Each structure stands twice: as structure tokens, then as C-alpha cells.
């Protein structure tokens, strides 16, 4: 049996994702009722971070503990990973001592190479190109709040980064539309985004037009981790790409606002929006925990008969 990894969103079929969301709902309900569920007793998750994190680390570490397992944190600064050990060698060793590995790193190629030499499932905890665990939680949150996302319009305002690319992959899997507005020079690169085609997204020069009649408006930082040298230039280039109250006003009246966090109020989003009535950012962040518990369960145990 080939090992199942979650390296980008399209690694999972619509059927698998629907199954994961059903499990997420059940796992969340049990957790909220303080009912113990320990299917991963004696299993170990290794988490490798080459970039900073609050939510991803916490949700994977807490999630693994809540499922009865253990999580070990490694980072580049104080492991041999930062001293030039080949990623293929690290994969051989780490995957002989653990049951599942989560990696947050730079190029997608690094995680692909790790997975190619791993004996256990590998999960992408964010790369320069993708952030599949984030969109797992985001789509679960949309469904929880509003029902099916099929046929809906998601407005992406800002950088065509890892989170944007993953929304675009998800649009192909779940058959919804993304209206993307980026400043000139920051447009979507379909090949880098790993898309099958261009049917599920449309690019808008004017962010207000992208947001018009949207069911969900979402954005992310102007400067992602690893691109800090471009920060000042990006602040200038993205100044007109802030999600503010005027922009939310042209979206549907019941539109949701999402942000993967951390956010910069006054840059990509106005405080009145992220702290306002359309915002579901705290539910979205919490659902990282529940959705990833379902992901860990699926990768380690397969489908649970219900």
C-alpha cells in the first residue's frame, strides 16, 4: 500500500474530504462534551518547524495529546536539520522513530523530497507554495456556518501566496469560484498553484469588484514568512488591497470574513472588519484543531466504520 501524505490540498479527493469533515464534526462534538477519545494511544507525531508558528504548532500538539498520542517539536535552530543534514537522510531516521510527521518549511520541493523517503505519512504544515491544513479548517468553518460551499464565490484580496494557492486548489475540488484581486506583479501563477485549469477563478484589477456579491471575503498578510526583505516594497504595492468596511458592504449581506492569522490590522484588514460582525476568524482558528485531529486519525487509522 502506498503511504498517504497530505502535501497539497488536491492530494485528497472530494470523497475523502467529505469524510474528513464528517469526522471533524464528530471529533469536535466529543471533545466539547469532554468525552475521552484516544485512538492514537502510543502513536507519535514529529513536528518540524523551519518557520515560526503559533496555531499550527499548538493545534497539532494539543490535537495529538487529545487523541491519546504524543507530539515532539523539532526546529531548524537546535537540530541537525539546520546544519546541512540531507533532507532524505532526516526523513529516513525521523520516520523510523515516529508514526506521522508534520513539516513547516520553505520550498514545496523540500517536503516532497522528505515524503519520498519517509516510511510514515507526511503533512504539509505550510510551505512557500501551499497551506493545506489551513484551508481544510477554513472550508469546514464555511460549511459549519453556511452549509455547502459548492457554487459559492470566495473573494481573495491581496497576495497570491500559499494560502491563496490552496484556496484555488480547493475551488477545483469543491467546485466553487474564487475572485482574486492582487496588485500588478503579484498575480496567480497557475502552475505554481498546482491547478488543473483556470475555470474556477477569475482575476480582478479592482479589489472592490472581486468582493462584489461574494459569499466569503478572505485575505492574508502582505508579506509571508521568508519574504521579509520585500516588506517595505510590498507595503507600498498593497496599500489599496485592504479589506475594509466599504469592501465588505459590496459583498453579500451575510458574507463571512476569514483570515488564517496572524493578522495586521490597518494593513491587509481593517480592525472594524476582523473584529466586526462578518468575521469568523476565531472559529476558523479553533477548527484547525478539530480538522487536523480528523486528518491525523485518517492518515494513521484509515476510515473508521460509523
Measured distance CA(150)–CA(148) in Å, rounded: 6
Decide whether 181 or 224 has the Cβ nearer to ligand CP: 224
- From 23, 43, 57, 104, the catalytic residue: 104
- From 234, 259, 288, 290, the catalytic residue: 288
Choose the one of ligand CP, ligand NVA, none that binds residue 54, judging by a C-beta under 5 to 8 angstroms depending on kind: ligand CP
Among 50, 138, 172, 220, interactor with ligand NVA by CB under 6 A? 220
Choose the one of ligand NVA, ligand CP, none that binds residue 163, judging by a C-beta under 5 to 8 angstroms depending on kind: ligand NVA
Alpha-carbon distances, residue 130 vs 35, 74, 95, 191, 253 (angstroms): 34, 21, 22, 12, 30
265 DSSP assignment: B
Residue 265 known to be catalytic? no
Decide whether 30 or 283 has the Cβ nearer to ligand CP: 283
In DSSP terms, 46 is beta-bridged to 72, 101
- From 55, 131, 200, 234, the catalytic residue: 131
State residue 203 phi and psi, 5-degree precision: -100, 140
Contact flag: residue 208 with ligand NVA (CB under 6 A): no
Stated length of the chain: 306
**In the complex, minimum distance from the CB of residue 126 to ligand CP, in angstroms, rounded to a whole number:** 6
Decide whether 262 or 302 has the Cβ nearer to ligand CP: 262
Q: What is the residue whose three cell numbers read 494593513? A: 267
> What is the footprint of ligand NVA within residues 119-148 (CB under 6 A)?
126
**In the complex, minimum distance from the CB of residue 227 to ligand NVA, in angstroms, rounded to a whole number:** 8
- Identify the CA nearest to 300 among candidates 14, 9, 23, 22: 23
Q: E strand or H helix at 102, and its extent?
A: strand 100-104
Residue 220 known to be catalytic? yes
Measured distance CA(30)–CA(25) in Å, rounded: 9
**In the complex, minimum distance from the CB of residue 133 to ligand NVA, in angstroms, rounded to a whole number:** 10
HSE of 30 in the Cβ direction (CA atoms, 13 Å)? 17
Span from 81-89, 221-229, 274-282, 291-299 in contact with ligand NVA (CB under 6 A): 221-229
> What is the footprint of ligand NVA within residues 7-46 (CB under 6 A)?
none
Choose the one of ligand NVA, ligand CP, none that binds residue 17, judging by a C-beta under 5 to 8 angstroms depending on kind: none
The residues of the shown chain that bind ligand CP, judged by CB under 6 A, are: 53-56, 126, 134, 260-261
> What is the footprint of ligand NVA within residues 239-298 (CB under 6 A)?
260
- From 8, 164, 220, 242, the catalytic residue: 220
The H-assigned helical ranges of the chain are 14-32, 55-66, 87-94, 108-116, 132-146, 162-174, 190-193, 207-211, 231-237, 245-250, 271-274, 281-301
Measured distance CA(116)–CA(152) in Å, rounded: 36
Residue 213 known to be catalytic? no
Q: E strand or H helix at 48, and its extent?
A: strand 44-49
Count of CB atoms within 10 A of residue 89's CB?
A: 11
Count of CB atoms within 10 A of residue 206's CB?
A: 10
**In the complex, minimum distance from the CB of residue 89 to ligand CP, in angstroms, rounded to a whole number:** 27
Choose the one of ligand NVA, ligand CP, none that binds residue 220, judging by a C-beta under 5 to 8 angstroms depending on kind: ligand NVA
Catalytic residue IDs: 104, 131, 134, 220, 260, 288
List residues near ligand NVA by CB under 6 A. 126, 161-163, 220-221, 224-225, 260
Amino acid at each position: 500500500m502506498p503511504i498517504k501524505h497530505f502535501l497539497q490540498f488536491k492530494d485528497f479527493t472530494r470523497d475523502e474530504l467529505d469524510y474528513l469533515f464528517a469526522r471533524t464534526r464528530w471529533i469536535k462534538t466529543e471533545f466539547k462534551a469532554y468525552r475521552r477519545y484516544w485512538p492514537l494511544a502510543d502513536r507519535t507525531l514529529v513536528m518540524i518547524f523551519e518557520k515560526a508558528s503559533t496555531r499550527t504548532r499548538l493545534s497539532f500538539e494539543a490535537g495529538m495529546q487529545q487523541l491519546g498520542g504524543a507530539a515532539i517539536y523539532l526546529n531548524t535552530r537546535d537540530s541537525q536539520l539546520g546544519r546541512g543534514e540531507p533532507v532524505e537522510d532526516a526523513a529516513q531516521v525521523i520516520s523510523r522513530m515516529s508514526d506521522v510527521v508534520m513539516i513547516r518549511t520553505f520550498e514545496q520541493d523540500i517536503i516532497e523530497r522528505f515524503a519520498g523517503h519517509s516510511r510514515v505519512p507526511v503533512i504539509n504544515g505550510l510551505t512557500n507554495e501551499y497551506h493545506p491544513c489551513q484551508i481544510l479548517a477554513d472550508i469546514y468553518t464555511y460549511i459549519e456556518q453556511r452549509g455547502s460551499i459548492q457554487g459559492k464565490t470566495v473573494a481573495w484580496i491581496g497576495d497570491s501566496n500559499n494560502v491563496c494557492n490552496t484556496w484555488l486548489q480547493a475551488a477545483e475540488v469543491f467546485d466553487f469560484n474564487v475572485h482574486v484581486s492582487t496588485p500588478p506583479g503579484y498575480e496567480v501563477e497557475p502552475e505554481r498553484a498546482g491547478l488543473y485549469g483556470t475555470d474556477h477563478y477569475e482575476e480582478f484589477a479592482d479589489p472592490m469588484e472581486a468582493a462584489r456579491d461574494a459569499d466569503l471575503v478572505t485575505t492574508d498578510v502582505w508579506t509571508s514568512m521568508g519574504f521579509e526583505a520585500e516588506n517595505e516594497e510590498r507595503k507600498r504595492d498593497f496599500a489599496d488591497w485592504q479589506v475594509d468596511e466599504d469592501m465588505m458592504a459590496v459583498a453579500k449581506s451575510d458574507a463571512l470574513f476569514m483570515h488564517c492569522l496572524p493578522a495586521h490590522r490597518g494593513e491587509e484588514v481593517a480592525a472594524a472588519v476582523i473584529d466586526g460582525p462578518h468575521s469568523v476568524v476565531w472559529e476558523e482558528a479553533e477548527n484547525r484543531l478539530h480538522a487536523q485531529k480528523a486528518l491525523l486519525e485518517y492518515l494513521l487509522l484509515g476510515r473508521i466504520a460509523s
